[in-house]
Amino acid sequence: MKLAVNLSMIFTEVPLIERFALARLHGFDHVEIQFPYELSIAQIQAQLTAHQLSLCLINLPAGDLMQGGDGLAGVPGREMAFRDAVTQAIDYARALHVPSVNILAGKQPLDADLLPCLRTLASNLKIAAQLLSDAGIQPVFEMINGTDMPRFLLQNIAQAQEMLEAVQHPALKMQYDCYHMAMMGENVLQALKENIDRIGHIQFADCPGRHQPNSGEIDYAAIFDYLKSSPYTGYVAAEYHPTPDSNGSLAWKSAFFPQA
């Protein structure tokens, strides 16, 4: 298990290009970025090199999803845009030695039936999984709770399991976000244990609030204890809204990861 910090949600007091230095200052060796594409590959590489960091995860470009739209992966008719997004993500991941790329399913459009969206998603995930794995990159996909993102196509463990069955690609795994699963009423620790061999990346924030560990109700002492003794060898990334600010939110790091 390797600890990482998400630069899209933490250290946002400064521009993205300045957050790499803060990650190193606070003792992180690994970072992830949701959408790194506002920076060039050369800019990111310079920061990773200067601060001796590795970039462990990026998201596939998701079209208009983060601006309130439906995204790409599960929207019939946007297949070509999705393929272009896969190409761009592979370019970044290969150049920056990123081991995993996350694919966001997107939302069911208001004027579309669910089944065609799920079929489109399964087809796109199969294509992306093949292209990413051919490039030596681990493909993962994420479940997002329906309160924060209504109409998101994959919201819980059961839906993720069904999608894995539909895609039937050996490289594809879940990205497991503890906060989203808690918001969906899942038993976070039990679901981790039951699906650990199908999980390729883990993120954490407390619930409710999506702030740092020990700010809510999730038992992170038990979760981190399990992960440290589990067969999982991937990354575990802090992805939360810091309170009161980024620097003041990091007490969990010395409490749970005193050697990191």
Nearest to 72 by CA among 55, 89, 57: 89
CB half-sphere exposure, 72, CA atoms < 13 A = 20
Residues 223, 192 contacting (CB under 8 angstroms)? yes
Spatial distance between the Cα atoms of 23 and 9, rounded to a whole number of angstroms: 12
Spatial distance between the Cα atoms of 37 and 8, rounded to a whole number of angstroms: 12
Residues 158, 184 contacting (CB under 8 angstroms)? no
Annotated catalytic, 217? Answer: no
Four-point Cα dihedral 175, 176, 180, 186, nearest 10 = 140
Identified catalytic residue from 38, 79, 217, 239: 239
Identified catalytic residue from 13, 142, 165, 186: 142
Annotated catalytic, 142? Answer: yes
Spatial distance between the Cα atoms of 108 and 151, rounded to a whole number of angstroms: 5
The residue with tokens 């590795």 is 54
Catalytic residues: 142, 239
